[in-house]
């Protein structure tokens, strides 16, 4: 096996597949990176058995030559050393030669590394995902959906199904839902040009966080396919495969109140900054609670009290308040997460009482919904 490759291409691909490689895996060979060399190009693979990432470097692309001197072959290299070696090599080209004892010689300019490789025979085969039932969407839209929901997954292993994001595609409408049972985040987008439907799958939050980091905005669309226990995200040079979570995702639609007693329309950033300040004195308590009070004069008071340290009072002027006056307490962290996720300048908050969940949406747009359960303090 042999190939000569452009170092910057190799660095980018190595960086991508490293996101799937963990040094703490129970399968020793998965601490390594698989490199497969064919006449048409080089494929790098990393996996921690939950997530697998394949990155492909074509030998030629639009008349540019990325890989030369190709002799087919496959090898597994220790991922602990290989990425930094590649990054620090002196020249723009790297030559990699592997002999039959899996000795790997990496040469660039006057620098020569000899590494002990491993046979790729022991490297697990990635599950094949049928790509017939697939649909496409813009990468930036997928990233936005991940960002607006994934923060709300549970981090507790007591209900494993809640550590994932529920994904559903029905009637050309794609819906992401995440909840940790104290708050919920939901995002809906229309998907055109497909009749595929996905009844209900739950993708680990960790996988989506890694996917978010790895997807760059230079490639335009991502193709998504699902089988029973895997989901595949495919872009031009990347396959990102994640296992799905087993179990039934709870029915969340009935959590969402369908009427409200108090509706407040308010600018997102001033409200967010006030709540951030109100949470400063309580930063060590896990659920630092702020009080939120609406008055007749259109002013919202936000306050927090930590007896040993002090207290804080904030005022924000609402753009519009309709319905009853309200006193409610909630986790400042949940509110901060929700307001940051919304990405619109102005929000509507709909309350149905101090002990009932409330929802936050952008003004005149219900494709994003954030729901928070209040905390009993009054």
Residue 84 found at the interface with a copy of itself (CB under 8 A): yes
State the nearest-atom distance from the C-beta of 202 to a copy of itself, in Å: 37
CB of 35 to a copy of itself, least distance (A): 15
Check binding of 296 to a copy of itself (CB under 8 A): no
The number of residues that bind a copy of itself (CB under 8 A) is 30
111 lies in the binding site for a copy of itself (CB under 8 A): yes
Residue pair 75/105 in contact (Cβ under 8 Å)? The answer is no
In the complex with a copy of itself, which residue's Cβ is closer, 143 or 333?
333
**Closest CB to a copy of itself among residues 230, 274:** 274
Question: What single DSSP character describes residue 132?
Answer: S
Residue 271 engages a copy of itself in binding (rule: CB under 8 A):
no
314: number of Cβ within 10 Å? 19
The number of beta carbons lying within 10 Å of the beta carbon of residue 4 is 17
Give the number of residues written for the chain.
Answer: 378
Contact 41, 58 (CB under 8 A): yes
Please report whether residue 91 would count as binding a copy of itself according to CB under 8 A: no
Contact 378, 354 (CB under 8 A): yes
295 makes contact with a copy of itself (CB under 8 A)? no
Residue 232's φ and ψ, nearest 5 degrees, are: -115, 125
Q: Does 24 bind a copy of itself (CB under 8 A)?
A: no
Measured from the Cβ of residue 182, the count of other Cβ atoms closer than 10 Å reads 18
SS3 category, 157: coil
89 near a copy of itself (CB under 8 A): yes
The token pair that represents 253 in the structure block: 């639609």
Q: How far is the CB of 71 from a copy of itself (least distance, A)?
A: 21
- Taking residues 297 to 316 in sequence order and writing x for each that binds a copy of itself by CB under 8 A, - otherwise, the string is -----------xxxxxxxxx
| Mask for 227-256, x = binds a copy of itself (CB under 8 A) | ------------------------------
Residue (of 121, 27, 41, 112) closest to 76 by Cα position:
121
The helix/strand/coil state of 126 is coil
Residue ranges binding a copy of itself (CB under 8 A): 78, 81, 84-85, 88-90, 104, 110-116, 273-274, 276-277, 280-281, 308-316
């Amino acid at each position: 096996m042999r190939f000569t490759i452009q170092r910057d291409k190799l660095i980018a691909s190595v960086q991508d597949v490293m996101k799937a490689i963990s040094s703490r895996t129970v399968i020793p060979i998965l601490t390594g990176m698989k490199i497969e060399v064919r006449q048409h190009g080089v494929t790098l693979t990393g996996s921690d058995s939950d997530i697998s990432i394949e990155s492909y470097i074509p030998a030629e692309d639009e008349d540019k030559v990325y890989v030369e001197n190709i002799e087919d072959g496959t090898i597994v290299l220790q991922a602990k050393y290989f990425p930094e070696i590649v990054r620090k090599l002196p020249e723009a080209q790297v030559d990699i030669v592997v002999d039959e004892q899996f000795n790997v010689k990496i040469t660039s300019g006057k620098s020569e590394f000899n590494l002990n490789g491993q046979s790729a025979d022991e490297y697990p085969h990635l599950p094949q995902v049928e790509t017939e039932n697939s649909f496409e969407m813009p990468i930036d839209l997928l990233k936005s959906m991940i960002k607006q929901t994934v923060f709300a997954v549970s981090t507790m292993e007591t209900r494993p199904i809640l550590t994932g994001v529920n994904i559903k595609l029905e009637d050309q409408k794609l819906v992401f839902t995440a909840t940790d049972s104290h708050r919920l985040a939901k995002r809906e987008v229309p998907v055109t040009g497909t009749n595929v439907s996905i009844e209900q799958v739950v993708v680990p939050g960790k996988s989506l966080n890694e996917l978010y980091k790895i997807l760059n905005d230079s490639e335009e669309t991502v193709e998504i396919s699902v089988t029973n226990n895997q989901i595949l995200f495919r872009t031009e040079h990347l396959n990102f495969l994640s296992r799905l979570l087993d179990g039934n995702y709870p029915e969340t639609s009935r959590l969402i109140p369908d009427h409200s007693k108090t509706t407040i329309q308010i600018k997102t950033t001033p409200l967010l900054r006030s709540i951030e300040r109100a949470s400063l004195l309580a930063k060590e308590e896990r659920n630092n609670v702020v009080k939120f009070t609406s008055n007749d004069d259109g002013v919202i008071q936000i306050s927090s009290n930590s007896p040993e340290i002090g207290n804080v009072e904030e005022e924000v002027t609402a753009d519009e308040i309709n319905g009853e006056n309200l006193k409610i307490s909630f986790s400042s962290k949940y509110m901060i997460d929700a307001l940051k996720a919304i990405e619109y300048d102005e929000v509507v908050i709909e309350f149905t009482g101090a002990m009932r969940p409330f929802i936050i949406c952008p003004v005149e747009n219900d494709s994003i919904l954030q729901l928070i359960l209040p905390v009993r303090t009054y």
